[in-house]
Each structure stands twice: as C-alpha cells, then as structure tokens.
Amino acid sequence: MSFAQSVALQQAVYAALTTDPDLSALVGSAVFDALPAGDMPPLYVQLGAETVRDASDGTGAGAEHRFTLSVVGKDAGFADAKTVASLICDRLQDAELTLSRGRLISLRFERASARVVLSAQARQIDMQFRARVQDG
C-alpha cells in the first residue's frame, strides 16, 4: 500500500476544480481546502475527509482513495448547490488528471447526500468520489 499519492491526488483534484471555467463562473475562487476566516461566500466548495486503503496488485503499490467534496450554499433552496455539484461530477467523473507522483487509474462518483444545516442556515451537498491510484 502507499499513501504517497494522497497529496498529489488532492492537488490534481483542486487544480481541476479551480481551473474549470464553468465552475469558476458560479463560485469564483471559492474552492477551499481549509475554510478561510471571516465571512464565507454564499456558495462554495470544500475539500473534505479522505479514507485510503490498500489496492496494491501484481503491477505495484496502489491505493483506493475515497474523498468527500462538499458544496455549501446560503440560498433558500438547493438549486444553485445542485448545479455546482453537477458540474463537479461532470468534471471529475473519469477525469484524466495528471498526478505529481504516481498515476490515476480511475476516478468515479460514488454517492451524494443533500441536507439542510439549520445552525448555519445553509444547504450542503456532500459528494463522495473513489479514486484508484498507482505508485510509480
């Protein structure tokens, strides 16, 4: 197993999201690894939790990364957040991202959940993706 591609995968996903013109038109530069201090924009994307497990095989060390991307919106409905979530799925599903270490074998959407966060008066969509990476 190798956790070594975790940073490379995160950087590639972040780059794919921040350079997508359609996504930028909706959220601007509001794609965050760590939430900034102060007031949050009305619609943003946050990189979230990640779980990694061994996926080594006869060709070498590898890992399966399951990671969460969240879309958070302050609008009364889910329409804007769902539009952003759809764009993210379109951009990442089977994407051919270049990693700074290792290589991406596959990247797939797994599931999503949408909920109202009453304490923040927001709508949040959490999407989970599965990436298979190989070292070397």
- 10 vs 90: CA distance, rounded Å: 17
**All structural domains of the chain:** 6-35+42-134 (3.30.2000.30)
Angle at 21 between CA 38 and CA 64, to 5 degrees: 80
Question: Is a pLDDT exceeding 70 seen at residue 29?
Answer: yes
Q: What is the pTM of this model?
A: 0.92
d(CA 54, CA 40): 36
Is 90 exceeded by the pLDDT of residue 133?
yes
What pLDDT score was predicted for residue 4?
Answer: 82
CA angle 62, 68, 69 (to 5 degrees): 125
State residue 135's pLDDT score.
86
Secondary structure (3-state) at 39? coil
Report pLDDT digits (tens) over 42-79: 999 999 999 999 888 878 788 999 999 999 999 878 99
